[in-house]
Amino acid sequence: MALQRHVAIESQSRNRAQPPQLTEEQILCMGDEHYMGEAQKKCFQALLIAMEELLEARARQSAADIAIGSAGADPIDRASAEEEHQLAIAARARDAAQLVQVREALKRIDAAEFDWCVETGDMIGIGRLFICPTTTLCVEAQQRSESKTTWYRS
């Protein structure tokens, strides 16, 4: 959620020359007859592109941070540096996975499949897409998936 808000601020500051897009509130107020029309599609596409740019920038920064590394003479310093290094690697892996999801979502927008649940074929919903624009499941399908996971863990 914080990433999406940061992305929205970043994209607004970069896109000053472009005509203003609809706000999240305006899109949420639209009826089902406007579901994933051009304005909504462009809004989500801009959001995903901004997320992609931010994730790519973070990947470049984390790669530089990982490459630098630091080893102190003190064993405690080395242990601390190693922990930071492992955290940076984990963060980079998370960002890389999210970047793949963002790129897949952009492909789904181009294929007109972005806003439909891959499991049920139902509408995912604009509100859900604003919360998680890379989702592929509607709320019901996600709940079933989580229930199965919980059931098999027990």
Q: What is the average pLDDT score of the chain?
A: 81
User: Which of 30-39, 63-72, 124-133 has the least mean pLDDT?
Assistant: 63-72
Residue 18 lies in a domain: yes
Residue 41 lies in a domain: yes
Q: What is the count of structural domains for the chain?
A: 1
Residue 35 lies in a domain: yes
Residue 101 lies in a domain: yes
Residue 131 lies in a domain: no
Residue 76 lies in a domain: yes
User: Which of 13-17, 29-33, 99-103, 138-142 has the least mean pLDDT?
Assistant: 13-17
pLDDT value of residue 30:
75
Confirm whether pTM is higher than 0.85. Answer: no
CATH number at residue 95: 1.20.120.910
Q: Does residue 139 register a pLDDT over 90?
A: yes
Residue 81 lies in a domain: yes
Q: What is the mean pLDDT of residues 115-137?
A: 92
Q: How far is CA 87 from the centre of its chain?
A: 20
Q: Does residue 16 register a pLDDT over 60?
A: no
Residue 135 lies in a domain: no
Cα–Cα nearest to 138, from 153, 128, 151, 152: 128
Q: Is 137 left (phi over 0), alpha (psi -120 to 50) or beta?
A: beta
The answer to whether 42 touches 21, Cβ cutoff 8 Å, is yes
Q: What is the mean pLDDT of residues 121-137?
A: 92
| Adjacent-strand bridge partners of 116 | 123
pLDDT value of residue 79:
82
Structural domain of residue 66, as residue ranges? 2-113
User: Which of 18-22, 88-92, 103-107 has the least mean pLDDT?
Assistant: 18-22
